[in-house]
Amino acid sequence: MRDFSVVYDVDPPVRAVKNVDLEIGRGEIVGLAGESGCGKTTLAYGVQRLLRPPAVITSGSVTFHDADGTDVDLNALDAEAMRRFRWDKVSMVFQGAMNALNPVATIGSQLEDVFEVHRPDLSRAERRRAVVELLEIVKVGGARRRSYPHELSGGMRQRVMIAMALALRPQLMVMDEPTTALDVLVQREILKQISQLRHEFGFSVVFITHDLPLLLEISDRIAIMREGEIVELATAERIWNDPQHPYTQRLLASFPRLTGEKGVVAR
């Protein structure tokens, strides 16, 4: 991303993303942190051209460096080419995704839809085998393909959404607050699994959350976002040990410590 900006064309206009420069390395986990409303989700949607009016991309370029050596200008793709590109090269686990499954369709049929649209040459038997394999990979179990969403726990539904994002073996997965609604133990299991899958399949991850301690644990680099701008970008180790921007320092100070004296966060 170079000089990427998004404006909500209302009265008065709202500059939601301001001249963002960001590069994601192959196989890297990049955390995107900041308070609610700072533009994290708008940035993720904008890069994949998923924004709806009144949101308008006002500047910037987005280039995808494919593993086959070609560069793809995402702004230049027409609607059909962009539709094919999504999920195939870049997939997304949406915010609140575990509640986004169709309640009247089985898990298996919803996963099969991905292959039916993007891999139409696969037979029905091949699609079914692929679905079972995906459910086994995310530790839901192939037998659950016959289940409906309401028959699964929140953690299992979230794993199904991760399976859907993995279905076409994308090179980059964008995860928007994927564990926010889960309890701490389930959250821990899913984060561990994301890291394992990243090592196994080699995809990159953009992990969006307001939970900075969580990002410190799983990310290679962290971008701190405030009021539409990236105010600091550094390795997780550097963010933890030597945060440079005052806003990053305040974010870190806002989380309670398990040891030491009580403190007051400066405002």
The 10s digit of each residue's pLDDT in 204-226 is: 999 999 888 889 999 999 999 99
Average pLDDT over residues 125-142: 95
- Model pTM above 0.75: yes
Mean pLDDT score across all residues of the chain: 91
What distance in Å separates the CA atoms of residue 192 and residue 59, rounded to the nearest whole number?
37
| 54, two tokens | 């009144």
- Average pLDDT (2-30) is 96
Q: Is the pLDDT of residue 108 over 80?
A: yes
pLDDT band at 178 (very low <50, low <70, confident <90, very high): confident
User: Tokens in use for 153?
Assistant: 């726990």
Q: So what CATH class is 2-253?
A: alpha beta
Would you state the pLDDT for residue 267? 46
